[in-house]
Amino acid sequence: MNFIDLPQMVSASGSVALPGSKSISNRALLLAALADGETELRALLESDDTARMREALGALGVPMSAAGEGGLRVRGCGGRFPMRRAALFLGNAGTAFRSLTAALAFAGGEYVLKGVARMHERPIGDLVDALRACGTSIAYLEKKGFPPLSIRPATIRPGSVVKIRGNVSSQFLSALLMALPLAGAEVTVEVEGELISKPYVDMTLNLMARFGVVAQRDGWRAFSIPAGARYRSPGVYQVEGDASSASYFLALGAIGADAGCPVRVEGVGKNAIQGDVRFADALAAMGATVEMGENWISAARPAAGRTLSGIHLDCNHMPDAAMTLAVAALFAQGETTLANIASWRVKETDRIAAMAAELRKLNVRVEEGGDFLKIVPPDAAHLLRPAMIKTYDDHRVAMCFSLASFGVPLRVCDPGCVAKTFPDYFDRFAKLTRPAPVIAIDGPTASGKGTVSAQVARALGFHYLDSGALYRLTALAAREAGVDWADEAGVAAIAARLDTVFHAGGVLLNGREAADAIRDEEISSGASKVAALPAVREALLFRQRTFHRAPGLVGDGRDMGSAVFPGARLKVFLTASPAVRAERRTRQLLERGEPAVSSAILADLEARDARDRARTVAPLRQEADALLLDTDDLGIDEAVAKVLGWFSGRC
Ligand code: DC
């Protein structure tokens, strides 16, 4: 499976240049293609959604060429696409699908528009009805009211007055408005009911004006485009940074940045035409420290001694950025209610259901309604539970859940879905955040690393992961369930479901104390066998990473530095010669009153070393970046002091 594991983050700071706005990029691409003259589009977003739009315009015969970094030169076709017949595939790009449907309906050619399966579940009937009322010819190819669509040339009725419902998706109105200059006749659009997401319509009108067409309007109720209106290239058009993408970084600042070094986004600011910049106001209302300039916004935690507090917000004006608030709410005192978000149900996925399901996995109480979400976080962030987050092929679900890593380690499944709007999101996220530190201590059996690791953890107040115990518990659980240690799939299934709790001085397996049972020689040998099975290691990977919490972790094992925590702040390879280790182990057993023959112990230990070294997955070895600590002539206290000294040198 494809995933990214995020450890618990402890702080954030720095600045990020935002990718171009998706909404503006796709609108500007279409208007540049429809205009008279050539337009240079600057800072255009490069993502799946804009790629679908560019491919479609290419298939319609619009000439485009690169113009410097992130720029595109578009030769407008003066309202008439060169290709009079085309079949377009628009993936899951809603903005591209809706706006091209409207534009092509007036374009006088024969066109087919298709998308991915989810696109074919997203309603488009309101837009098609309005377009048909103007006299256009559009047919549903599969299910009534949904893509795919077929479009044929038609005669437009001059002076048409078409109605469109305002409370379903503002994208329909935007699509219609952008297409009307192609109608060749005056058409008036009347909005029925309350118009949602008004800022997106404002953005559309603003872009149309930049391309020379000013709509006449009666508030938010009616719009008309005069006959003879034509788009004209503005020459150069600079795309604003994406305000919805900005929301993740601003929330990062509000949760994890000190006021002295906030998180700053570059590319949007006071003069933005995107409604989602209002997200900054919402964060400020929660208590975050927010500042805004012409072309930047910064955010940091509330002033000293204060915390974020939950809010009740009508999110109609910023449906996308509001998803970020749902996760920021985990770090606020009190509950947060996001109201008027019915449009979430028809986005990339049913976002109300998706957010509710995934938040609940984190131990958050959530109430969901037809058009609202209420979030009641646990009393303290450390009560959040690590979880594997499903992302539903929805870029925004993936991006907003990354913020939850400030409370718990988590696994984000299918992180590649962010390519829809922000392909390198997780790289940028990593650059701005600082995870809790890890000290990885690897080495062979009986080298003393368990004792040293536990003492280092205690000295620093860090969490401690005895990863060997997980393999031992797996071997014991398999034995109890009657599963053979060589049965890879069977043991891996046991490892994945392992019901175990570490507590001071011991560990429970299925509710029973198992600290002694897992140290039994036979179980030790079983542990080494099951540890050689790749599927078992895979099944235990995330469980080990859930220990990576603030304020820090000491991980003890064989592959802490190489596989489980490759980004560890300090990696130590702690070892001793086989003879010394055998002698220590013999003494340990005799002290416990157990029989011990040192030659047999040495032979067993060498066999286990050999198996741990020779296995194909995560073999025991000193990593190139690990420091060697040979304890042949070193007592425990000296070894602990050495590790602490190395660590303080890296803080
Ligand atoms: O550290 P230990 O002796 O408790 O480990 C028990 C077994 O698990 C041992 O055979 C090595 C294996 N192990 C592993 O493969 N990877 C780890 N990170 C920790 C232990």
Residue 489 belongs to what H/E stretch?
helix 488-497
Report how far ligand 1's centroid is from the alpha carbon of 618 (Å): 11
Nearest protein CA to atom 3 of ligand 1, as residue: 445
Report how far ligand 1's centroid is from the alpha carbon of 564 (Å): 13
Q: What is the pLDDT of residues 457-504, one digit of tens each?
A: 999 999 999 999 999 999 999 999 999 999 999 999 999 999 999 998
Edge-first strand order for the sheet with 372-376 is: 312-314, 336-339, 372-376, 365-368
What whole-number distance in Å separates Cα of residue 204 and Cα of residue 575?
A: 66
Compute φ and ψ for 483, nearest 5 degrees: -100, 130
pLDDT at 398 over 80: yes
Q: Which of 471, 523, 581, 613 has the most ligand 1 atoms within 8 A of CB, as the residue to mutate?
A: 471
| Predicted pLDDT at 541 | 97
| Predicted pLDDT at 381 | 79
> Which of 23-27, 445-449, 606-610 holds the top average pLDDT?
23-27
Atom of ligand 1 nearest to the CA of 611: 10
Q: Where are the domains of the chain?
A: 3-18+243-434, 22-238, 436-462+551-651, 468-548
| Predicted pLDDT at 108 | 93
The 3-state DSSP class for residue 173 equals helix
Task: List pocket residues of ligand 1, CB cut-off 6 Å.
Answer: 445, 467-468, 471-472, 527-528, 531, 557-559, 608, 612
Across the chain, what does the average pLDDT equal?
95
E strands, 377-487, are 387-389, 410-413, 433-435, 438-442, 463-466
Q: How many CB atoms lie within 10 A of CB 637?
A: 10
Report how far ligand 1's centroid is from the alpha carbon of 528 (Å): 6
| Predicted pLDDT at 512 | 95
Q: What is the pLDDT of residues 514-549, one digit of tens each?
A: 999 999 889 998 998 999 999 999 999 999 999 999
Report how far ligand 1's centroid is from the alpha carbon of 636 (Å): 20
Average pLDDT over every residue of 47-57 = 95
Report how far ligand 1's centroid is from the alpha carbon of 442 (Å): 10
| Predicted pLDDT at 269 | 95
- Which residues, 6+ apart, have CB-to-CB distance to 305 below 8 Å? none
Q: How would CATH label the architecture of 22-238?
A: Alpha-beta prism (3.65)
Nearest protein CA to atom 16 of ligand 1, as residue: 558
pLDDT at 636 over 70: yes
- Which residues, 6+ apart, have CB-to-CB distance to 259 below 8 Å? 289, 300, 301, 303
Atom of ligand 1 nearest to the CA of 608: 10
Give the single-character DSSP code of 451. H
Average pLDDT over every residue of 52-76 = 95
For the chain, percent of residues with pLDDT exceeding 90: 86
Written as six digits, the tokens of 85 are 């017949």
pLDDT at 300 over 80: yes
pLDDT at 70 over 80: no
Written as six digits, the tokens of 338 are 């996001």
The b/e string for 504-543 (b: 16+ C-beta within 10 A; e otherwise) is eeebebeeeebeebbbeeebbebbbbbbbbebbbebbbbb
Nearest protein CA to atom 9 of ligand 1, as residue: 528
What whole-number distance in Å separates Cα of residue 167 and Cα of residue 625?
A: 58
Q: Which of 441, 465, 467 has the most ligand 1 atoms within 8 A of CB, as the residue to mutate?
A: 467
Which class is domain 468-548? alpha beta
- Which residues, 6+ apart, have CB-to-CB distance to 430 below 8 Å? none
Long-range own/partner contacts, residues 361-370 (CB < 8 A, 24 or more apart) = 361/385, 361/387, 361/388, 361/389, 362/330, 362/387, 362/404, 362/407, 362/408, 362/410, 364/330, 370/342, 370/345
Global confidence as pTM: 0.87
Report how far ligand 1's centroid is from the alpha carbon of 459 (Å): 24
3-18+243-434 and 436-462+551-651 have identical folds:
no
- β-partners of residue 232 are 36
Nearest protein CA to atom 8 of ligand 1, as residue: 468
Catalytic entry in 320, 394, 559, 612 = 320
pLDDT at 624 over 90: yes
pLDDT at 227 over 90: no
Contact 126, 172 (CB under 8 A): yes
Give the single-character DSSP code of 7. P
- Which residues, 6+ apart, have CB-to-CB distance to 147 below 8 Å? 97, 113, 114, 115, 119, 120, 122, 124, 141
320 is catalytic: yes
Q: Using 50, 70 and 90 to split pLDDT, how confident is the model at 1?
A: low
pLDDT at 209 over 90: yes
Q: Which fold has domain 436-462+551-651?
A: Rossmann fold (3.40.50)
What whole-number distance in Å separates Cα of residue 428 and Cα of residue 422?
A: 10
Contact 623, 608 (CB under 8 A): no
| Predicted pLDDT at 69 | 78
Which among 631, 617, 600, 442 is positioned nearest to 525, based on CA atoms?
Answer: 600
Q: What is the pLDDT of residues 366-383, one digit of tens each?
A: 999 999 999 999 988 789
What whole-number distance in Å separates Cα of residue 469 and Cα of residue 477?
A: 12
Q: 305: buried, middle or exposed (CB in 10 Å: 19+, 13-18, 0-12)?
A: exposed
Which among 2, 13, 20, 3 is positioned nearest to 429, based on CA atoms?
Answer: 13
> Superfamily assignment of 3-18+243-434 in CATH?
Enolpyruvate transferase domain (3.65.10.10)
Written as six digits, the tokens of 287 are 């208590």
Which of the two residues, 595 and 475, has the higher pLDDT score? 475
| Predicted pLDDT at 446 | 85
- Which residues, 6+ apart, have CB-to-CB distance to 611 below 8 Å? 528, 529, 532
Nearest protein CA to atom 5 of ligand 1, as residue: 468
